[in-house]
Amino acid sequence: VGTTSVEKSEVISSLLHEQGIPHNLLNAKPENVEREAEIVAQAGRAGAVTIATNMAGRGTDIILGGNSDYMARLKVREVLLPRLVRPEEGHRPPVPLQREASTGFAATASPAKAPSEARAVSRLYPCELSSDTDEALGSVARELVSLWGDRSLTVLELEDRISSAGEKAPSDDSGIMQLRDVIGRIRADYDSVITTEQSQVRDNGGLHVIGTERHESRRVDNQLRGRAGRQGDPGSTRFFLSLEDNLLRIFGGDRVAGLMNAFRVEEDMPIESGMLTRSLEGAQKKVETYYYDIRKQVFEYDEVMNNQRRAVYAERRRVLEGRDLKRQVLGYGERTMDDIVEAYVNPELPTEEWDLTHLTNKVKEFVYLLQDLQPEQLAGLAMEELKAFLHEQLRIAYDLKEAEIEQLRSGLMREAERFFILQQIDNLWREHLQSMDALRESVGLRGYGQKDPLIEYKNEGYDMFLEMMTQVRRNVIYSMFMFQPQPAPVDEAVV
């Protein structure tokens, strides 16, 4: 029985308890998740009822008649757990049982109708073990206690060894081989019953899947349908819907309800109609398209940040690997000089009208070693010549700074370059991420101005990224020239 949510699976479970129908419940609750494989292994037994959310227990085939291999492992685990597992403080090792009756709608039901613990235990395994097999299991349990130690394993270690014994891989551990032998004998006992039960289930039509509600996605409905008819087994599926289900209520349920009222159809009368099925599939397609568009838009927004992230991390990786740090800093400086020239020089004006005084002052702010630079030295130079001259002056000043720093300690200049570049990238990138988040939250309002929010986000995000990289370059150049390391203090001799 498939449901669309944990809450609805609990409601159906309570209703079945009221009717005294033994069943298993499989949903995302921790107490049920721990027994997921056990529940799925028994779901193919004759008369077994399993309630599950549509996606629970996926990836495991439901074997008609039950999974004898898993039941054999479960039996071995049940016997070995109290003997080999080290008990935790305040913890009692769990014994797999069928789900007991819970409260809820069943609180007022008659206790006689609820499945008893004895009935639940009797349904756990297909039959009692033969006396020879039971004796062999007890003997192996005692042997393993002497081999592996009395209650010296954890639960995970025990389950790992049982799993190894259940497979056919060669092993040097004599305990694993003994365990493998007894698991095979238990499986043979169970197979004798399960084979008959499997034929009975097949004759009755195999696994029948009941859907209680259509999911918003057809893929999830198909996941539920795919439980039946696996590996060539027979099976069938059927969905029971209500006009009050969310999907029908949102997409055309009122119209169908109006028709029922007009024809005075009883409330509990079932309706089977191809038109209803087609309208449901159409509704599901609309919902899927809606969510697809949302995911596509989120991806496109994320792709903007992903491209910027790749560029920043590539720059940071190059710095961490220490490749050509000096050339990188000089490149920052040359770009900064170009920005200063383009800000203070208008190529459309004659050279006599260029504001060379402010230009030289701005250069001195970044490179204090160029204090002797005068506007007269720049007079008469074209724009490209001006850039080339400032590049040359920057390199000379940087060589002087490097010689000054290297006198204190060899290699200190490279360490300073790495430190300042990483510091500026990290600080400004964090601020940029916050600015981009704020932009993403606010850019949606531009849709009211007949503008595409995604295009606006890309354009403004790109401009903000270029501004951030410009700030990185300028801050690194300023910091490198202002860097004044203090010489290490000389310890005075103690008399």
By the 10 Å C-beta count (0-12 exposed, 13-18 middle, 19+ buried), 356 is classed as buried
pTM of the complete model = 0.53
1-64+206-240 with 322-482: one CATH topology? no
d(CA 495, CA 481): 41
Considering only residues 66 and 491, tell me which one the structure prediction assigns the higher pLDDT.
66
Domain 322-482, CATH number (from 3.40.50.300, 1.10.3060.10, 3.90.550.50, 1.10.510.10): 1.10.3060.10
Q: Residue 93 above 60 pLDDT?
A: no
Considering only residues 56 and 134, tell me which one the structure prediction assigns the higher pLDDT.
134
Percent of the chain having pLDDT more than 90?
13
3-state DSSP assignment of residue 69 = helix
- Taking only the tens place, the pLDDT of each residue in 307-332 is 999 999 999 998 988 878 889 899 99
d(CA 134, CA 146): 19
- Find the mean pLDDT for residues 331-353: 85
d(CA 123, CA 140): 25
Q: Tell me the pLDDT band of 106, cut-offs 50, 70 and 90.
A: very low
**CA terminus-to-terminus distance, the chain:** 91
Considering only residues 129 and 104, tell me which one the structure prediction assigns the higher pLDDT.
129
- The domain spans of the chain are 1-64+206-240, 65-87+123-190, 241-310, 322-482
Other Cβ atoms less than 10 A from the Cβ of 101: the count is 22
Q: Residue 333: CB partners within 8 Å, gap ≥ 6?
A: 366, 367, 391, 394, 398, 473, 477
The reported pLDDT for the residue numbered 423 is 93
Q: Residue 86: CB partners within 8 Å, gap ≥ 6?
A: 151, 152, 153, 154
Which DSSP string do the residues of 196-230 spell out, in sequence order?
HHHHHHHHTTSEEEEESS--SSHHHHHHHHTTSSG
What token pair was written down for 419? Answer: 């430190």
- Taking only the tens place, the pLDDT of each residue in 107-142 is 333 333 333 333 333 456 777 888 888 888 888 888
CA distances from 383 to 271, 315, 337, 371, 376 (A): 83, 30, 12, 21, 15
The reported pLDDT for the residue numbered 306 is 92
The reported pLDDT for the residue numbered 115 is 35
Which DSSP string do the residues of 19-66 spell out, in sequence order?
TT---EEESSSHHHHTTHHHHHHHTTSTT--EEEETTTTTT----TT-
Nearest CA to 48 out of 28, 21, 75, 9 is that of 21
Other Cβ atoms less than 10 A from the Cβ of 364: the count is 14
Q: Residue 55 above 80 pLDDT?
A: no
CATH 3.40.50.2020 holds for 1-64+206-240: no
Give the rounded distance of the alpha carbon of 279 from its chain centre.
34
Structure-token match 């009395």, residue found: 150
Lowest mean pLDDT: which of 244-258, 385-399, 409-423? 244-258
Considering only residues 11 and 447, tell me which one the structure prediction assigns the higher pLDDT.
11
On whether the CB atoms of residues 112 and 36 are closer than 8 A, the answer is: no
- Find the mean pLDDT for residues 441-465: 88
Q: Tell me the pLDDT band of 428, cut-offs 50, 70 and 90.
A: very high
